Amino acid sequence: MNDIKSVLFVCNMNAVRSPMASRRLHALMGDLVRCESAGVHSTRAHSTRATNNDVDALTEQVLAEKGIKMDGYYSKSLGDISFDQFDLIIAMTIEAASEIRKLSPSSRIEFWAIEDPSARITNGEQALDAYRAVRDSIFEKITDRFPLSD
């Protein structure tokens, strides 16, 4: 962990999984690790659940339940990113891993298979439960990968 000072999390749309991960790592590590997120595509062109600041509304809600705010967040695509600024890139989808390998073959990449809760056809409490499950899975992976004792 000591050699990692910057992490980029990448999913498909940069609206759910990668922002959850980036904000969680920042909440855990503060300024010790620079955290950003991006998507193969940004939500600006694709999302139906994004709020005015590009955040999926349910993502914002389930993070707020854990005291994490999305203030200042906006969706970015891989085209907005300079890969050489990151010690580690964590791809959260197969598509993201493939695209990163094409764009930056020398980058240090890890793959975490994380389900997209927004892909489920659910609403109400079922949707919130799906988002919470993904949030909790991401939080566990972050805690395991970036222990504070290093």
Convert the pLDDT of each residue in 51-100 to its tens digit. Answer: 445 678 999 999 999 999 998 888 899 999 999 999 999 999 999 999 99
CA angle 6, 119, 60 (to 5 degrees): 55
pTM: 0.89
Q: What is the rounded CA–CA span in Å between residue 30 and residue 99? A: 29
**What pLDDT shows up at residue 45?**
44
Q: Where in the chain are the domains?
A: 6-145
Q: Does domain 6-145 have CATH number 3.40.1380.10?
A: no
- Which of 16-20, 50-54, 89-93, 127-131 has the lowest average pLDDT? 50-54
* Residue 78 contacts residue 104 (beta carbons within 8 Å): no
